[in-house]
Amino acid sequence: MKPTRVAHVLEELLQTRWPVFLWGPPGVGKSSVVREVAAKAGWNLIDLRASLLDPTDLRGLPAVTSGKAVWYPPSFLPHEPDSKGVLFFDELNAAPPLVQASLYQLTLDRRVGEYVLPEGWRIVAAGNRAEDRSVVFRMPSALANRFVHLDFEVDASDWRVWAQQHGIHPLVLAFLTFKPKLLFDLGDASRAFATPRSWEMLSAALDRFGTANDLDDIAPGIVGEGVAIEFLAYCRDTITEKLVQSIIADPTGAKLPEDLGALYALVSYLGAWAKRPEVRSAAATLLSRLGPEIAVLLARDLIRADAKFVREAGYREFVAKHKEFLV
Strands 115-116 and 111-112, sheet pairing: antiparallel
pLDDT (tens digit, 9 = 90+) per residue, 116-174? 999 999 999 999 887 777 777 888 888 899 999 999 999 999 999 999 999 999 999 99
Q: Where are the domains of the chain?
A: 3-151, 156-326
The Cα–Cα gap between 46 and 106 comes to: 15
Contact criterion met (CB below 8 Å) for 33 and 10 = yes
Q: Indicate the pTM of the whole model.
A: 0.86
Q: How confident is the model at residue 326 (pLDDT cuts 50, 70, 90)?
A: low
Is 100's pLDDT higher than 90? no
The Cα–Cα gap between 262 and 234 comes to: 9
- The conformation of residue 290, written as its DSSP 8-state character, comes to S
| 263 backbone φψ class: left, alpha, beta (φ>0; ψ -120 to 50) | alpha
List C-alpha distances in Å: 138 to 10, 131, 143.
Answer: 24, 12, 10
Average pLDDT over residues 205-234: 93
Q: How confident is the model at residue 103 (pLDDT cuts 50, 70, 90)?
A: confident
Strands 148-151 and 20-23, sheet pairing: parallel
For domain 3-151, give the fold: Rossmann fold (3.40.50)
